[in-house]
Structure 1
């Protein structure tokens, strides 16, 4: 498969996919292209906390300004859902002109939120504000995109999407529901809704472009983050020889007994030992102590929720237990699973936006207490030479996922400038819906945490030549 074609796969893929797990396809092998794209698509929708890529289903949007020629509308506090169930039905690539054409078929896409509308809906006058929902069925989406290769100041090449265009239609129609049209005048409201639902395809065409424009900008932003995480020289480089045995080392201690690559029990023993060393740190190689883990600032700028955490401390990682560790020689990667019985995050917060469905605002002290927290981490590594010509391992990319298992307790002091009734509502919602809230909230925290862990790990690896690590 030629180089431009591989770039296209990276537009739709993850860091790990871009390195070794893409199935080679000829540029005219449509069946192969579609199959590979459908394998990768769910990964993009799931996001990647380690690089700040958000979950894309559902998507939360603060505001959509839909001012068109004869109709002015504004949607606020919107949720878009259903894209994770879409299927890529066609993918065509023009490698010579750096272009691609993509078709998605989505069984059902839903948009809901608050509306304010005034103007004409094709032929009928319409006016009102309130809650709304739009359901599109058998939603057929076509996307045309071009890409380019850019070179940064560090002289590394990255792929970026240059521009894109789209169109969409609901092959099985759409259902519209707008509460409080004409300030509650049911006769007028019923006439508009009847017209809209009987002519749903035409009405959706009138409405949808501003909605799709902002939704796909969010999607493209996520894809940019995946692309930015992988320089081209990390994608296209020689494959190092397979490594047939493995051992981990501590910078200041005698290396443990080497393990065979397929000896899971031996590798688990070494992995647990190294994990504790990474948390303990080592001043002689500049590796900081990570229990507790301290952060001057964590910036949590999400789509619907902006928050900043300062003077933050995370404790409890020293009690975590590594449950699984696998090494893949061919892909030069490790995959591990870690369970933490108890984690605490404390510090100072400044927050404004929406916590899923509730408005939230305030600043002050906070604490987040998590009981039973599962972590999954996949890393790929490379081999580098130091000034003396000795080879060392270095973690190249990583992908982290986290899931709360038993419960999370949130406490934010001084919400809404001390208005207790509003604060109580937010705390009640957050603590009753702890899993959903944590999955929305945790991305920037997880990203900051693993950035420190990987930095420490690479300092240990830099201190130990490969001939002390691998037989």
Structure 2
């Protein structure tokens, strides 16, 4: 999602605090080039962080691994409880930044518009309830493929002081995933009925965007939590002066 993305100030250190990463270009916090400088660093670090930051024991960001997520009560059309476990979100390293706005003057906030050509969510699922005209109860592997995704990201942060040094932390990260189209597969969604399960899957894909929008907030929230944890773990011991040019 980080999107994922989530990175302006994030994921920019993969070495010890005393070493400046050669791949990171410190940005000014106050001039007209701040946003473009931050954008270049985000894309660079997202790609370098694909397999994780080994020196700091930071997990890979592509794919992102999530233990579990469960949907809340749904709408009238989809009164279905779904539980996703041991699933991954992949595609983040192909992120391209379309637009970025940074504000470090009267608040600490970064807004990013990203695009992803493709993202894949896959893992284990359980489903129980009513989906359109069908009573479903099933469990198996699942896969959701999203194409041509627009991603809106808002990163809210705050500055604070510790030991006479200025630091910052991430308060929250918000994502909005807007795929143009996609495909989903939930085999065995009607337990032990392969033919009817296929019929349900056909209907899911005929109504892909409507169905995806029913449970995407669950996925987004878990991505937000995951990236916030990783980001704060990375930046927690690094003062602002190591991340930006401090005039």
Q: TM-score when scaled to structure 1?
A: 0.44
| SS at 2:86 equivalent | strand
Q: 1:437 deviation in Å? A: 0.9
Q: 1:350 deviation in Å? A: 0.5
**1:461 and 2:235 are equivalent in the alignment:** yes
Q: Is the 2:169–2:232 contact (alpha carbons within 8 Å) kept by the matching residues of 1? A: yes
Instruction: Report the counterpart of residue 214 of structure 2 in structure 1.
Output: 440
Instruction: Report the counterpart of residue 380 of structure 1 in structure 2.
Output: 156
Q: Distance in 2 between matches of 1:466 and 1:456?
A: 17
Relative contact order: is structure 1 or structure 2 higher (C-alpha 8 Å, sep ≥ 6)? Answer: 2
Cα distance change, pair 397–311 in 1 and its aligned pair in 2 (3 A): closer
Q: Structure 1 or 2: larger helix share?
A: 1
Q: 1:463 deviation in Å? A: 3.5
Equivalences for residues 36-435 of structure 1 within 5 A: 249-252=12-15, 253-254=21-22, 255-259=24-28, 260-263=30-33, 264-303=35-74, 304-328=79-103, 329-355=105-131, 358-386=134-162, 388-405=163-180, 407-435=181-209
Extract unaligned runs of 5+ from structure 1: 1-245
Q: 1:433 deviation in Å? A: 1.0
Q: 1:420 deviation in Å? A: 3.2
Q: Distance in 2 between matches of 1:413 and 1:433?
A: 17
Q: Distance in 2 between matches of 1:455 and 1:268?
A: 21
Q: Is the 2:174–2:224 contact (alpha carbons within 8 Å) kept by the matching residues of 1? A: no
Cα distance change, pair 404–358 in 1 and its aligned pair in 2 (3 A): farther
Q: Is the 2:125–2:142 contact (alpha carbons within 8 Å) kept by the matching residues of 1? A: yes
Q: 1:247 deviation in Å? A: 7.5
Q: 1:439 deviation in Å? A: 0.7
| SS at 2:123 equivalent | strand
Q: Is the 2:25–2:37 contact (alpha carbons within 8 Å) kept by the matching residues of 1? A: no
Q: Is the 2:9–2:243 contact (alpha carbons within 8 Å) kept by the matching residues of 1? A: yes
Q: Distance in 2 between matches of 1:378 and 1:367?
A: 27
Instruction: Report the counterpart of residue 18 of structure 2 in structure 1.
Output: none
Q: Distance in 1 between matches of 2:52 and 2:108?
A: 25
Q: 1:278 deviation in Å? A: 4.9
Q: Is the 1:314–1:343 contact (alpha carbons within 8 Å) kept by the matching residues of 2? A: yes
Cα distance per residue 1:20-40 (max 9 Å; x no partner):
xxxxxxxxxxxxxxxxxxxxx
Q: Distance in 2 between matches of 1:464 and 1:339?
A: 29
| SS at 2:71 equivalent | strand
Supply the RMSD in Å over aligned alpha carbons.
2.3
Whose radius of gyration is greater, 1 or 2? Answer: 1
Q: Is the 1:313–1:346 contact (alpha carbons within 8 Å) kept by the matching residues of 2? A: yes
Q: 1:326 deviation in Å? A: 0.7
Q: Distance in 1 between matches of 2:125 and 2:92?
A: 22
Extract unaligned runs of 5+ from structure 2: 1-7, 16-20
Q: 1:331 deviation in Å? A: 2.8
Q: Is the 2:66–2:226 contact (alpha carbons within 8 Å) kept by the matching residues of 1? A: no
Q: How many corresponding residue pairs?
A: 224
| SS at 2:191 equivalent | helix
